[in-house]
A = this chain, B = another copy of it.
Amino acid sequence: MKIGLFGFGKAGKAVASVILQSKDHSLQWIYRKTNRLTTRDAADFLGIESDDPGYFYSDKKMSVEALLKEHPVDAIIDFSSKEGIYMYGESAAENEIKIISAISHYSDKEVGFLHKLAQKATVFWSPNITLGINYLLYAAQFLKKIAPSVDIEIIEEHFKDKQGISGTAIRIADVLDVKDEKINTIRAGGIVGKHEVIFGFPFQTVRLIHESISRDAFGNGALFAAEHLINKKPGFYKFEDLLHPYFKV
Contacts and interface: CB of A to CB of B under 8 A. Distances in A.
A139 B144 CA distance: 13
Contacts of A198: 157, 186, 188
A10 interface: no
Given A153-B188, A189-B151, A204 B200 contact: no
Grouping DSSP codes into helix (H, G, I), strand (E, B) and loop, the A interface class, with mixed when no group exceeds half, is: mixed
* A interface bracket (residues with beta carbon within 8 Å of B): 35 or more
Given A143-B139, A198-B186, A207 B205 contact: no
Interface string A199-214: 1111111111111111
A146 interface: yes
Contacts of A208: 139, 206-209
Contact of A188 (B130, B151, B219): B151
A152 B206 contact: no
B203 A212 contact: yes
A176 interface: no
Most buried by B among A130, A207, A216: A207
A165 to B, nearest CB: 13
Contacts of A202: 189-190, 213, 216-217, 220
Given A186-B184, A246-B146, A209 B209 contact: yes
Closest 6 CB pairs of A and B: A188-B200, A189-B200, A203-B217, A151-B188, A184-B184, A207-B209
Interface of A: 130-132, 135-136, 138-139, 142-143, 145-147, 150-153, 155, 157, 159-160, 184-192, 198-217, 219-220, 243-244, 246-247, 249
